[in-house]
Amino acid sequence: MDRGYTMNHMMKGAIAGATGIALLMGGFGTYAVWSDSENLAGNGVQSGQLNIDTSAGTYDDFNTVAAGDWSASDKMVPGDVVTYTQEFTIKGDGKNLEGTISYTEPSLTSTFSPNLDYSVEVTSSSATVTETTANNFEFDDEFGTATLTAVVTYELPSSTGGTTNQNKAATLPAAAFTITQS
């Protein structure tokens, strides 16, 4: 056998073998890898609210049936009972919302002697805002919108006689409702 022919074949075989190995190793050509992607869906969060607003109050003469029939210029006489009613709108939205609403009753500033009798009663229109003690309320879930009503009752006792408590004045200072998340 011809040595040149054998060497030639061996050389061609070696080149073919090296080419095959190189192709198997990825040196020539490409190969595919699977992949996929998805976007995170658009989302977000939002906060709730907790606040209290007030409206103008009204005065009523307890001794008559008409509503809103007492004005700032009217003057009390012994036996008069006057009420002042003011509503407060409270809003509470939030999944895990709970807390308290407190009313701090102020002291009456008065030149009456003995002092003018007065009392304050606060009620709620909502079953989810419940009174726990006098002038204190609790809520343990979001309640949307509810109304608190404060009624201040002033009474000049009918037993007041002579010139006692004539030309006197009394002022109930602005009172504070505080709504707090717990």
Domain-by-domain residue ranges, the chain?
1-35, 49-161+168-181
pTM for the full predicted model: 0.70
| Helices of type H across the chain | 3-24
pLDDT in tens, 55-111: 888 999 988 888 889 987 899 999 999 998 989 898 999 999 999 999 888 888 889
pLDDT by residue (tens digit) across 133-172? 888 999 888 888 988 898 889 999 888 888 989 999 888 7
Q: State pLDDT tens for residues 20-66.
A: 666 555 555 566 889 999 988 888 999 999 998 988 889 999 888 88
Distance CA 136, CA 179 (A): 10
